[in-house]
């Protein structure tokens, strides 16, 4: 039953659900693959730095790459085995790019390194608790992959009125959070309490969708007055951070702002479960639930070790790669179309969706029907953005808040002219980002040039300040030489007088 007192976000869509394909089966623990490929960057921020060498034996849970800076996370071995390579491998990326990864050959023993949880988390200092979460390599697991400790730190610097644990899985095919809650409700509730303690939130909500009744029933008996369970209607994209905040609190996150600006912090439900494992058991983030669905013989959810190849996961559901199929990492609405199944599952991989390629209806001219604006949850003007993206008018794109677009795909979904609007926005965002980066690089180069010029000018000034000293030293030296010459002359004159010599050669 939908909770009372909720608000609405603008736009959105009621999409046909495909969740029944995968959420009826218990999750399967995926067998060990032949190789584990762990990218050094599975999160927003700087890539981690390897601390192992090729040929080393590692244990499950061992740190194999350390965090490189504040917005970074360590990488842990997801099973025991031998390090076979540190090099470039395919990663989840629409362009099929490669990135630095560590390759492990599993030894089949899956032996843990020494791990230990902390005792009573409630008596811990919140900052220490945040460090435990950081050292466990936990990032947001709902798709954005932002390091969890950074959000928690924001929470200790500003008062947190509401902590929201997001269990709203609004993409029509994805059910990994649903299965996680049904199978591990205790982890979610305990992890939620730990996060709440880490940010000292006044109020705590777990938000769930109305089409997840089994998950709701699993959570309810474990809750006390400290956590509210709120059921929201199934409207896409209700799980978006800004949309869910609006629905639960009636508040809007400011444009270009963050939820903490209005005293709110949100974490995904899988992040709460990972926090429980890290704090209670000392387990780093090395596995996750993944939905494998669409045109596969046995769609279901898998418990997957990070670094497991996507192909190995699909094979567990009876799927063998077929040319012409579309492989999407993520959901049907917001997922990324990838070229093959070579890449590994990473911290943010929540769904592997296989779709048969259908002939796309041809793109037609915009008829200015306005349907795209009606469904936009970010209150944008998608049609205008489309024109500006086509004409590469970066100023107008910025003025029309292109970067507020959450790429939910609602506009493309309803467009009668079959215009792939989101594609245009993604390309435009990339171009603007590249342009800004080149401006930033040019600015930094100019700054370096000016700094050098200033340094050289300073050095030249110092030299000229020293010059009077040098002159004085020169004069002093000349005086000394003249004195010595005079003394020698006097000595010779004395000697001539004493010995009666004549015609001696003068020094001058």
Toward ligand SF4, which CB reaches closer, 112 or 413? 413
Q: Which helix (H) or strand (E) holds 49?
A: strand 49-50
Question: Is 368 among the residues that bind ligand SF4 (CB under 6 A)?
Answer: yes
Structure-block tokens of residue 303: 């418990």
Toward ligand SF4, which CB reaches closer, 12 or 299? 12
What is the pairing mode between strands 57-58 and 336-338? Answer: unpaired
Question: Is 138 among the residues that bind ligand SF4 (CB under 6 A)?
Answer: no
Residue whose C-alpha is closest to residue 30's, from 330, 303, 343? 303
Task: Give 230's strand partners.
Answer: 207
Toward ligand SF4, which CB reaches closer, 74 or 382? 382
Residue whose C-alpha is closest to residue 292's, from 324, 335, 323? 335
The one among 278, 305, 419, 428 contacting ligand SF4 by CB under 6 A? 419
| CA atoms of 21 and 295, how far apart (whole Å) | 10
Piece in contact with ligand SF4 (CB under 6 A), picked from 68-76, 261-269, 325-333, 406-414:
406-414
Grouping H, G, I as helix, E, B as strand and the rest as coil, residue 142 is coil
Question: Is 64 among the residues that bind ligand SF4 (CB under 6 A)?
Answer: no
The one among 179, 410, 424, 428 contacting ligand SF4 by CB under 6 A? 410
Piece in contact with ligand SF4 (CB under 6 A), picked from 146-154, 250-258, 345-353, 372-380:
372-380
Read out DSSP for 372-395? HHHH-TT---HHHHHHHHHTT-HH
The one among 54, 109, 337, 367 contacting ligand SF4 by CB under 6 A? 367
Binding mask 420-439 for ligand SF4 (x = CB under 6 A): -xx-----------------
Is there a contact between 352 and 316 (Cβ–Cβ < 8 Å)? no
- To ligand SF4, the closest distance from the beta carbon of 414 in angstroms equals 6
Grouping H, G, I as helix, E, B as strand and the rest as coil, residue 45 is coil
Is there a contact between 79 and 48 (Cβ–Cβ < 8 Å)? no
Question: Is 397 among the residues that bind ligand SF4 (CB under 6 A)?
Answer: no
Q: How many CA atoms lie within 13 A of 370 on its CB side?
A: 1
Toward ligand SF4, which CB reaches closer, 273 or 421? 421
Toward ligand SF4, which CB reaches closer, 61 or 335? 335
Binding mask 280-319 for ligand SF4 (x = CB under 6 A): ----------------------------------------
Question: Is 380 among the residues that bind ligand SF4 (CB under 6 A)?
Answer: yes
Residue 149 CA to its chain's centroid (Å): 12
The one among 260, 266, 382, 400 contacting ligand SF4 by CB under 6 A? 382
Residue 101 CA to its chain's centroid (Å): 16
Question: Is 407 among the residues that bind ligand SF4 (CB under 6 A)?
Answer: yes
Q: Which helix (H) or strand (E) holds 337?
A: strand 336-338
Question: Is 408 among the residues that bind ligand SF4 (CB under 6 A)?
Answer: yes
Piece in contact with ligand SF4 (CB under 6 A), picked from 157-165, 247-255, 285-293, 408-416:
408-416
Question: Is 333 among the residues that bind ligand SF4 (CB under 6 A)?
Answer: no
Cβ neighbors of 230 (< 8 A, separation 6 or more) are 3, 6, 205, 206, 207, 208, 248
The one among 371, 389, 397, 428 contacting ligand SF4 by CB under 6 A? 371
The one among 48, 265, 296, 411 contacting ligand SF4 by CB under 6 A? 411
- To ligand SF4, the closest distance from the beta carbon of 389 in angstroms equals 10
Classify residue 226 as exposed, middle or buried by CB count within 10 Å of its CB (0-12, 13-18, 19+): exposed
Question: Is 244 among the residues that bind ligand SF4 (CB under 6 A)?
Answer: no
Q: Which helix (H) or strand (E) holds 469?
A: helix 421-499
Structure-block tokens of residue 131: 């460090």
Sites of contact with ligand SF4 (CB under 6 A): 366-372, 375-378, 380, 382-383, 386, 405-411, 415-417, 419, 421-422
């Amino acid at each position: 039953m939908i909770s009372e007192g909720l608000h609405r976000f603008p736009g959105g869509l009621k999409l046909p659900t495909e969740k029944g394909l995968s959420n009826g089966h218990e999750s399967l623990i995926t067998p060990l693959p032949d190789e584990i490929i762990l990218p050094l960057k599975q999160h927003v921020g700087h890539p981690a730095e390897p601390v192992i060498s090729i040929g080393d034996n590692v244990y499950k849970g061992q740190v194999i790459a350390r965090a490189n800076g504040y917005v970074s996370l360590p990488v842990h071995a997801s099973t025991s085995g031998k390090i076979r390579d540190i090099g470039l491998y395919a990663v989840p990326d629409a362009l099929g790019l490669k990135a630095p990864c560590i390759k492990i050959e599993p030894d089949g023993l899956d032996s843990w390194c020494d791990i230990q949880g902390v005792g009573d988390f409630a008596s811990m200092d919140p900052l220490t608790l945040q460090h435990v979460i950081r050292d466990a390599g936990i990032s947001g697991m709902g798709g954005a992959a932002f390091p969890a400790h950074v959000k928690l730190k924001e929470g200790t610097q500003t008062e947190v009125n509401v902590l929201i644990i997001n269990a709203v899985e609004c993409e029509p095919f994805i059910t990994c959070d649903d299965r996680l809650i049904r199978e591990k409700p205790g982890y979610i509730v305990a992890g939620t309490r730990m996060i709440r303690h880490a940010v000292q939130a006044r109020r705590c909500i777990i938000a769930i969708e109305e089409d997840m009744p089994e998950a709701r029933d699993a959570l309810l008996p474990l809750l006390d007055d400290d956590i509210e369970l709120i059921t929201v209607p199934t409207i896409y994209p209700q799980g978006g951070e800004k949309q869910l905040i609006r629905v639960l609190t009636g508040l809007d996150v400011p444009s270009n702002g963050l939820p903490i600006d209005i005293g709110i912090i949100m974490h995904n439900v899988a992040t709460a479960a990972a926090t429980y494992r890290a704090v209670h058991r000392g387990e780093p983030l090395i596995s996750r639930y993944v939905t494998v669905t669409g045109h596969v013989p046995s769609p279901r959810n898998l418990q997957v070790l990070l670094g497991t190849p996507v192909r190995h996961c699909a094979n567990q559901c009876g799927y063998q790669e077929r040319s012409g199929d579309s492989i999407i990492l993520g959901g049907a609405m917001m997922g990324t179309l990838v070229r093959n199944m070579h890449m590994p599952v990473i911290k943010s991989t929540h769904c592997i969706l296989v779709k048969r390629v259908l002939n796309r209806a041809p793109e037609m001219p915009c008829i200015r029907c306005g349907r795209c604006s009606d469904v936009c949850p970010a209150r944008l003007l998608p049609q205008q953005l489309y024109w500006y993206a086509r004409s590469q008018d970066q100023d107008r794109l910025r003025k029309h808040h292109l970067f507020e677009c959450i790429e939910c795909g609602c506009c493309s979904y309803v467009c009668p002219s079959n215009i792939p609007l989101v594609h245009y926005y993604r390309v435009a965002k990339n171009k603007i980002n590249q342009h800004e980066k080149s401006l930033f690089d040019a600015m930094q180069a100019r700054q370096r040039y000016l700094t050098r010029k200033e340094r050289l000018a300073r050095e030249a000034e110092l030299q000229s300040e020293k010059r009077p000293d040098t002159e004085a030293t020169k004069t002093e030296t000349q005086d000394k030489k003249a004195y010595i010459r005079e003394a020698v002359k006097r000595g010779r004159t004395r000697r001539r007088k004493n010995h009666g010599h004549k015609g001696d050669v003068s020094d001058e």
